[in-house]
Structures are given as C-alpha cells and as structure tokens.
Amino acid sequence: MGKYTDYVMKTAQDLLAVPSPSGFTHMAAEFVKKEFENLGYKPQITQKGAVLVKLGGKDDKNAVVLAAHMDTLGGMVCQIMDNGHLKLTNIGGMNPNNAEAENCKVYTKSGKVYDATFQLENASVHVNGEYSDTKRTYETMEAILDEPVKNKEDVKKLGIMTGDFVCFDPRTVVTESGYIKSRFLDDKFSTAILLGYAKYLKEKEIQTERTIYVLITSYEEVGHGGCAAIPDGVTEMISVDMGCVGKGLECDETMVQSALRTVWDHMITRWFPV
C-alpha cells in the first residue's frame, strides 16, 4: 500500500501545480492522459475535454464508471480599468473572501502568462479607514499586475483582454506528519487516487469482475458534463469527490485526510472484488 500511497501523493502534488479552472482544463487533461499512458492504458480526451479510460474487467455489460474531476475554481478578467487594474468574475464558487491577497496568474489567448495579486481596492490598512468594514466582493476587489502598467492601453499592449482566465496559487504543502494542504484538493486528490488505483490494477495484473472505466471530468465546478461520454454497458457511476467539513456534519479534517485509505479499501474489497 505504501508504494501506491507515495505515488498518489506525488501525482496529486504534480497535478495541483497544473492550472485548470473550469473551461481551462486542457493542460490538466493532457497531464492526466499522459499519466494513464505511462501506466500502460489507452485513454482518450473526449469532445467535452474529459479524460476517459478503460481499466479492464470481465463484464462489459455491467460496467461501472469511477468519476472524479480535474477542473477547479478560478477567475476570469471581466473588465480592464482605466488605471490598469483588472476586475475579475468568478468561475465556480471562488469566494473573494478566501482569495484576498492571493497570488494569481493571468493566462492570455496568445499564450503569455502574467503574475498578479488579487486584493481589496485601496488595500492598505494604514490608508483605508474602511478596510475592516468593507465587504469583500468582486466589485470591491481587483487584480494588480506585476507589470509596469499605468492605464488600460498599457494592459492591452500586453495582450490581456476580457475573457482571459485567472488561476490562483494552489499553495500546496505536505507537512512532516504527512498531511497535504492545498487549494483545489477538490478534486485533484481524488483524480490522483484513481490514477493510483489504475496503477495498482495494472501492476498486480488484476482483472475485476465488472469492467471499470475512469472518467475525469472538466466542468464539475460549473455544474455540467458529468454524464457525457458514458460508454455502452455502464450500469453504475460512482463519483469520488470531497466531503464537506462543517457544523452539523459528521466529517472532520482527519476523516478527509484518511480518504485515500477509505476509498481504496472500498474499491478493492467491496465495489470491485477480484
């Protein structure tokens, strides 16, 4: 188990470093596709940008899809201000309260990438007397480019325009005690788990009773695409995703941390006996 846990942790870190807000997942899709190929499978990228791969199994008429998603929350440039600052809109549920003072990157349609910081307008607490009382919204916050721009025309000369994707720093850390902390573990960690499961089946030369497909989708955070490209013969779809931690719920951070073991045990002993 340790070998595959190490693989999952390493793959998760590598995938977390690939920007992929919904609608901008092509780099993550190529990463996942290549990883499955390296394991000896024949994945395909679907018309909708998902990655679909058959892991094998005996019964094609009672097949199951294991689904996770590689798309994340993010932002998009919706306005270039006269002073050269950028107004953003959210992709998915990216909450501005959780992104204040965050490093981010603007990906232009020409392929150039620019660093920026997402922060409150008039961001200095020493200057802004309303700093603590100002509600953090996309109307009151802005992205400041790490470029010597003074106005809208300077920004446009860089090739930045409305509609460009803005990707936030995942800030991935693995602690000495083995905890992984990062933005966008939802759902890249589950994607890494499914890659680890595929590695396990291949190396152990296991053929499950039911045929298994893995579908890594690309639009989950905006609410569509999960049922696209389901192969013939599939009778069940199991989504591997995050569990919320909060008041009134049964989960806690330790239980989320043990998701790898839990999902793995269910896959091998209950869902797909060999």
Q: What is the pLDDT of residues 62-92, one digit of tens each?
A: 999 999 999 999 999 999 999 999 999 999 9
Is 3 a residue whose pLDDT tops 60? yes
Q: Give dist(CA 172, CA 191) in Å, integer.
A: 16
Tokens for 252, please give them.
């806690």
The residue among 81, 116, 80, 82 whose CA lies nearest residue 101 is 116
Tell me what the pLDDT averaged over the chain comes to.
92
Write down the residue that tokens 């549920």 correspond to: 93
Length of the chain measured in residues = 274
Given pLDDT bands bounded at 50, 70 and 90, which one contains residue 229?
A: confident
Which range among 32-46, 48-62, 253-267 shows the weakest confidence by mean pLDDT?
A: 253-267
Is 262 a residue whose pLDDT tops 60? no
Tokens for 103, please give them.
């490093």
Is 259 a residue whose pLDDT tops 60? no
pLDDT score for 97: 94
Is 17 a residue whose pLDDT tops 90? yes
Q: Are 117 and 144 a contacting pair, CB within 8 Å?
A: yes
The residue from 102, 142, 220, 221 that is catalytic is 220
pLDDT score for 253: 75
Q: Report the DSSP beta bridge partners of residue 79.
A: 87
Q: Give dist(CA 183, CA 208) in Å, integer.
A: 34
Tokens for 182, please give them.
């990062």
Given pLDDT bands bounded at 50, 70 and 90, which one contains residue 228?
A: confident
Is 209 a residue whose pLDDT tops 70? yes
Specify whether 220 is catalytic: yes
Q: pTM for the whole thing?
A: 0.91
Write out pLDDT tens, residues 119-156. Answer: 999 999 999 999 999 999 999 999 999 999 999 999 99
